[in-house]
Amino acid sequence: MLSMIGPFSIDTYLPSFPDIEQDFAITRGLMTQTLGAYLIAFAFSTLIWGAVADWIGRKPVIMLSLVSYLLASVACALASNYEQLLIFRILQGLGVGGALISGRAMVRDFLPTKEAQKVMAHSMMLFAISPAIAPIIGGWLHDAFGWRSVFWFLAIYAGVIVIYAILMVKESLPKEKRNSIHINKVTRVYLNTLANPHFVRLVLINAFGFASFFIFIAGAPTLLIDILHYKPHEFYYLFVPVVSGIMFGALVSSRLVNHFESKQMINSFLSLMLVIALINTILSYTIQISPLRSIVPLIFYAFCLATIMPVLGISIINCFPNNRGAASAMQSFVQMGFNGITANVIVAALGASATNFTLAQLTLVCFAFILWQIDKKQRINKPIA
């Protein structure tokens, strides 16, 4: 449930972009900033939440995080102008980060590496469901009750998780393993993560790899409405097939960890991502834009990405076994921060051009692939996890 709230926050209101733009008399670029602002706020909040999660435990952070997110979602539903919506989206991002990183840290608290990778893969399958159903739910709510109902839905969803957490979630971090939140110590922990070249490379590979796919999520209103001329309630034409690829990739990942090392999986599927991105770019120059040409390559790309994401996530946390909350927070900070830049800068610069989308995808995955080759060279014969 925690893994789904992030994509819900991103994808549920995408079909409402045109109506919100009309109500507040703003441009698509300004509307996209509400997405980027949420992501950047999320990124910075994780640095604080990560330290707090290592200090007071996972469950209290989940509770505080979700309650603040719930209140911010209600405020978004009541926003009377663009400026208010932007501010409340920032507050949503600041609130929700603690729940997500605490949930990820809890997986590794309870389980050894191999089992944690399987659970993360299963979690990714649930994570994958939300981008498929979020715009569908958002489209239905939008058509039936207007765009404000989308944010009421997010508030209700957060409330359901709060109740479940109170009744069912157990603390995973014993008191004797908790760390001080003294500012100097917290700063030193975060600086230590940045001083670890292997950790930094894995985090950047994760960030660039996900961003190469995220441009199509953040750019969905442009891709589907402006380029492919779909209606708000028809977003499932993109999201359902692509998310099916994510779910299948996560399922395959949970099986492959029993037979292959992490570095073998990352090497194989990251290489496939590069090949698919190259083919997608070539197709964008040679074949006229159509739903089939746009969506099919993304299905295979999403499959490969979902196969390596759980492995990368656990490998990143394993770099700092005594500071998993901080490691998880730094990973989220970099990934979500870069997603915010992707939404605010990269997607905004692509315009209504399918070719620009594929070129951006190819460029980003090239960065991830190059970093992986550097990491392999630096760590010859050394396992990732």
- The pLDDT of residue 384 is above 60: no
10 Å Cβ neighbour count for 282? 12
The whole-number pLDDT of residue 160 equals: 93
Which of the four pLDDT bands, split at 50, 70 and 90, describes residue 79? very high
Domain boundaries, the chain: 2-378
- Is 29 or 299 the better-scoring residue by pLDDT? 299
Segment 96-122 shows an average pLDDT of 73
The whole-number pLDDT of residue 385 equals: 45
Of 61, 90, 64, nearest in space to 76 by CA: 90
What 8-state DSSP symbol labels residue 257?
T
- The pLDDT of residue 174 is above 80: no
- The pLDDT of residue 380 is above 80: no
Segment 250-276 shows an average pLDDT of 87
Of 358, 259, 357, 242, nearest in space to 305 by CA: 242
pLDDT digits (tens, 9 = 90+) for 360-379: 999 999 999 999 999 888 87
10 Å Cβ neighbour count for 318? 20
CATH number for the domain running over 2-378:
1.20.1250.20
- Sequence-distant (6+) residues with CB within 8 A of 85 are 20, 24, 34, 76, 79
Q: Dmax over Cα atoms in the chain, in whole Å? A: 61
- Sequence-distant (6+) residues with CB within 8 A of 81 are 24
- The pLDDT of residue 165 is above 50: yes
Q: What percent of the chain has pLDDT over 70?
A: 89
- The pLDDT of residue 331 is above 80: yes
CA atoms within 13 A on the CB side of 44: 12
Report how far residue 28's alpha carbon sits from residue 94's, in angstroms, rounded to the nearest whole number. 23
Start-end of H helices in the chain: 2-11, 17-24, 28-56, 58-77, 82-110, 113-145, 148-168, 183-194, 197-218, 220, 236-256, 262-286, 291-318, 324-341, 347-350, 354-378
Least confident of 9-18, 61-70, 159-168, 235-244: 235-244
Report how far residue 332's alpha carbon sits from residue 90's, in angstroms, rounded to the nearest whole number. 16
pLDDT digits (tens, 9 = 90+) for 246-258: 888 878 887 887 7
